[in-house]
Structure 1
Amino acid sequence: MISTLLSRLQRGPDGAPAPRLAFGADYNPEQWPREVWEEDVRLMREAGVNIVSVAIFSWARIQPGPGTWDFAWLDEVMDLLHENGIGVDLATATASPPPWLTTAHPEILPVTDRGETVWPGARQHWRPTSPVFREHALRLVRELATRYAGHPALVAWHVNNELGCHNVYDYSDDAARAFREWLRARYTTLDALNHAWGTAFWSQRYSDWEQILPPRLAASHPNPTQQLDFKRFSSDALKDHLRAEREILRELTPGVPVTTNFMVMPGTKGMNYADWADEVDFVANDHYVVPRPQDRDELSFSANLTSGIAGGRPWFLMEHSTSAVNWQPVNLAKRPGELARDSLLHVAHGADAVCFFQWRQSAAGAEKYHSAMVPHAGADSDLFRAVTALGGTLRALAPVAGAEREPAEVGILFDWESWWASEQDSHPTSLLDYHQEALDWYSALLALGIRADVVTTRSDLSRHRVLIAPVLHLVPAELAKDLTRYAEQGGHLVTTYFSGVVDENDHVWLGGYPGALRDLLGIRVEEFGPLPAGQTVELDDATTGGLWTDRITTTAPETEVLARYRTGVHAGRPAVTRRPTGGGSAAYVSTRLGVDGLTSLLPRLLAPAGVRSELPAEVRGLVEATVRRGPGGRFLFLVNRTDDPVTVPGTTGEVLVGSTGADGAVALGPRDVAVLRLPNS
Structure 2
Amino acid sequence: MPRLGDATRGRILYGGDYNPEQWPEETWHEDVRLMRAAGVNSVTVGVFSWAKLEPRPGQRDFAWLDRLMDLVHEHGIGVVLATPTASPPPWLGHLHPDTLPVDQDGRTEWWGGRQHFSHSSATYRRHAAAITEDLAARYAGHPALTMWHINNEYCTYDYGDEAAARFRRWLGNRYGTLDALNTAWGTAFWSQGYGDWDEVMPPRHAHYLKNPTQVLDFRRFTSDMLLECYTAERDIVRRHTPDLPVTTNFMPLWSGQDAWRWAEEEDVVSVDLYPDPRDPLGAQHGALVQDMTRSQARGPWMLMEQAAGAVNWRGANHPKPRGLNRLWSLQAVARGADAVCYFQWRQSRQGAEKFHSAMVGHAGEQGRTHQEVRQLGADLAKIGPHTAGTHVGAGIAVLHDWHSWWAGDQDGRPSTRFDYPDVLHAWHRALWEAHLTTDFAHPEHDLTPYRVVVVPQLYALTDAAIDNLLAHVRRGGTLVCGFLTGVADEDDRIRPGGIDARLRQLFGIRTLHEWWPLETDETAVCDGFRGTLWSEEIEPDGTADETVPYKGGELDGLPAVLRKGRAWYVSTLPEPDALRDLLARICADAGVRPALAGLPAGVEAVRRGDLLFLLNHGRDPVTVGVPGTHRDLLTEATVTDRVTLGRHGVAVLAP
Q: One fold, TM greater than 0.5?
A: yes
Cα distance in 2 between the residues matched to 1:447 and 1:482: 28
What amino acid is aligned across from residue 328 of structure 1 in structure 2?
R
Please say which of residues 448-457 and 89-98 is displaced more in the overlay: 448-457
Task: Compute the displacement of 1:280 (Å).
Answer: 1.0
Alignment of 1:257-336 (within 5 A): 257-265=245-253, 268-290=254-276, 291-311=278-298, 313-336=299-322
Match of 2:606 in 1: 626
| Aligned residues of 1:476 and 1:504 also touching (Cα < 8 A) | yes
Match of 1:504 in 2: 490
The correspondence for 1:30, drawn from 17, 21, 39, is: 21
What amino acid is aligned across from residue 646 of structure 2 in structure 1?
G
What amino acid is aligned across from residue 625 of structure 2 in structure 1?
P
Match of 1:643 in 2: 619
What amino acid is aligned across from residue 285 of structure 2 in structure 1?
E
For these two proteins, the number of residue pairs brought into alignment is: 652
Q: 1:8–1:527: structure 2 CA closer, same or farther, 3 Å change rule?
A: closer
| Aligned residues of 1:622 and 1:642 also touching (Cα < 8 A) | yes
The correspondence for 2:135, drawn from 132, 144, 166, is: 144
What amino acid is aligned across from residue 168 of structure 2 in structure 1?
R
| Aligned residues of 1:196 and 1:225 also touching (Cα < 8 A) | yes
| Aligned residues of 1:563 and 1:577 also touching (Cα < 8 A) | yes
| Aligned residues of 2:512 and 2:537 also touching (Cα < 8 A) | yes
Match of 2:523 in 1: 536
What amino acid is aligned across from residue 641 of structure 2 in structure 1?
G
Task: After superposition, give the CA deviation of every residue in 1:222-272 in whole Å (9 maximum; x if it has no partner).
Answer: 10000111111101111110010011111122122111111124xx22111
Match of 2:583 in 1: 602
Match of 1:248 in 2: 236
Q: TM-score, normalised by structure 1?
A: 0.93
Cα distance in 1 between the residues matched to 2:636 and 2:40: 25
Match of 1:189 in 2: 177
Q: 1:470–1:514: structure 2 CA closer, same or farther, 3 Å change rule?
A: farther
What amino acid is aligned across from residue 560 of structure 2 in structure 1?
A
Task: After superposition, give the CA deviation of every residue in 1:573-596 in whole Å (9 maximum; x if it has no partner).
Answer: 11000111xxxx110111111322
Q: 1:603–1:289: structure 2 CA closer, same or farther, 3 Å change rule?
A: closer
Match of 1:57 in 2: 48
Task: Compute the displacement of 1:644 (Å).
Answer: 2.0
Match of 1:12 in 2: none
The correspondence for 1:205, drawn from 189, 193, 202, is: 193
The correspondence for 1:527, drawn from 483, 508, 514, is: 514
Residues 1:97 and 2:85 aligned together: no
The correspondence for 1:360, drawn from 326, 332, 346, is: 346
Task: Compute the displacement of 1:606 (Å).
Answer: 2.8
Match of 2:408 in 1: 422
What amino acid is aligned across from residue 675 of structure 1 in structure 2?
V
Please say which of residues 640-649 and 598-607 is displaced more in the overlay: 598-607
Alignment of 1:13-162 (within 5 A): 19-162=10-153
Structure 1 vs Structure 2: percent identity of aligned residues?
Answer: 46
Task: Compute the displacement of 1:607 (Å).
Answer: 4.5
Task: Compute the displacement of 1:7 (Å).
Answer: 4.5
SS in 2 for 1:300: helix
Alignment of 1:395-544 (within 5 A): 395-457=381-443, 459-513=445-499, 517-523=503-509, 524-541=511-528, 543-544=529-530
Cα distance in 2 between the residues matched to 1:139 and 1:662: 57
| Aligned residues of 1:540 and 1:564 also touching (Cα < 8 A) | yes
What amino acid is aligned across from residue 77 of structure 1 in structure 2?
L
The correspondence for 2:641, drawn from 649, 659, 664, is: 664
Please say which of residues 40-49 and 643-652 is displaced more in the overlay: 643-652
Task: After superposition, give the CA deviation of every residue in 1:317-357 in whole Å (9 maximum; x if it has no partner).
Answer: 11100010001110000011111011111111111000000
Task: After superposition, give the CA deviation of every residue in 1:169-188 in whole Å (9 maximum; x if it has no partner).
Answer: 21011110111111111111
Task: After superposition, give the CA deviation of every residue in 1:518-544 in whole Å (9 maximum; x if it has no partner).
Answer: 222121312111112211111111x11
SS in 2 for 1:649: strand
| Aligned residues of 1:448 and 1:620 also touching (Cα < 8 A) | no
Structure 2 stretches lacking a partner, 5+ long: none
Task: Compute the displacement of 1:643 (Å).
Answer: 2.4
Q: 1:156–1:295: structure 2 CA closer, same or farther, 3 Å change rule?
A: closer
What amino acid is aligned across from residue 14 of structure 2 in structure 1?
F
Residues 1:177 and 2:165 aligned together: yes
Residues 1:586 and 2:567 aligned together: yes
Tell me how large the CA RMSD over aligned residues is.
Answer: 1.7
Cα distance in 2 between the residues matched to 1:24 and 1:511: 54
Cα distance in 2 between the residues matched to 1:181 and 1:112: 20
Cα distance in 1 between the residues matched to 2:505 and 2:282: 35
Please say which of residues 22-31 and 660-669 is displaced more in the overlay: 660-669
Cα distance in 1 between the residues matched to 2:374 and 2:482: 46
| Aligned residues of 1:277 and 1:310 also touching (Cα < 8 A) | yes
Cα distance in 2 between the residues matched to 1:646 and 1:159: 43
Cα distance in 2 between the residues matched to 1:188 and 1:404: 45
Please say which of residues 224-233 and 595-604 is displaced more in the overlay: 595-604
Task: After superposition, give the CA deviation of every residue in 1:376-431 in whole Å (9 maximum; x if it has no partner).
Answer: 01001111110000000000012234434332222211221222222211100012
Cα distance in 2 between the residues matched to 1:657 and 1:519: 52
Please say which of residues 381-390 and 651-660 is displaced more in the overlay: 651-660
Task: After superposition, give the CA deviation of every residue in 1:642-661 in whole Å (9 maximum; x if it has no partner).
Answer: 22222111344332125767
What amino acid is aligned across from residue 275 of structure 2 in structure 1?
V
Cα distance in 2 between the residues matched to 1:276 and 1:8: 21
Q: 1:516–1:276: structure 2 CA closer, same or farther, 3 Å change rule?
A: farther
Cα distance in 2 between the residues matched to 1:478 and 1:484: 10
Cα distance in 2 between the residues matched to 1:449 and 1:229: 38
What amino acid is aligned across from residue 410 of structure 2 in structure 1?
Q
Cα distance in 2 between the residues matched to 1:516 and 1:231: 28
SS in 1 for 2:535: strand
SS in 2 for 1:506: coil
What amino acid is aligned across from residue 673 of structure 1 in structure 2?
V
Cα distance in 2 between the residues matched to 1:367 and 1:132: 29
Task: Compute the displacement of 1:276 (Å).
Answer: 0.3
Please say which of residues 596-605 and 141-150 is displaced more in the overlay: 596-605
Task: Compute the displacement of 1:570 (Å).
Answer: 0.2
Task: Compute the displacement of 1:359 (Å).
Answer: 0.3
Q: 1:660–1:545: structure 2 CA closer, same or farther, 3 Å change rule?
A: farther
Match of 1:615 in 2: 596
SS in 2 for 1:530: coil
Q: 1:335–1:206: structure 2 CA closer, same or farther, 3 Å change rule?
A: same
Q: 1:134–1:463: structure 2 CA closer, same or farther, 3 Å change rule?
A: same
What amino acid is aligned across from residue 559 of structure 1 in structure 2?
A
| Aligned residues of 1:635 and 1:677 also touching (Cα < 8 A) | yes
SS in 2 for 1:461: coil
The correspondence for 1:574, drawn from 511, 535, 559, is: 559
Structure 1 stretches lacking a partner, 5+ long: 10-16
Q: TM-score, normalised by structure 2?
A: 0.97
Please say which of residues 484-493 and 397-406 is displaced more in the overlay: 397-406
Please say which of residues 115-124 and 597-606 is displaced more in the overlay: 597-606
Cα distance in 2 between the residues matched to 1:404 and 1:472: 31
SS in 2 for 1:279: coil
Match of 1:676 in 2: 653
Task: Compute the displacement of 1:514 (Å).
Answer: 5.2
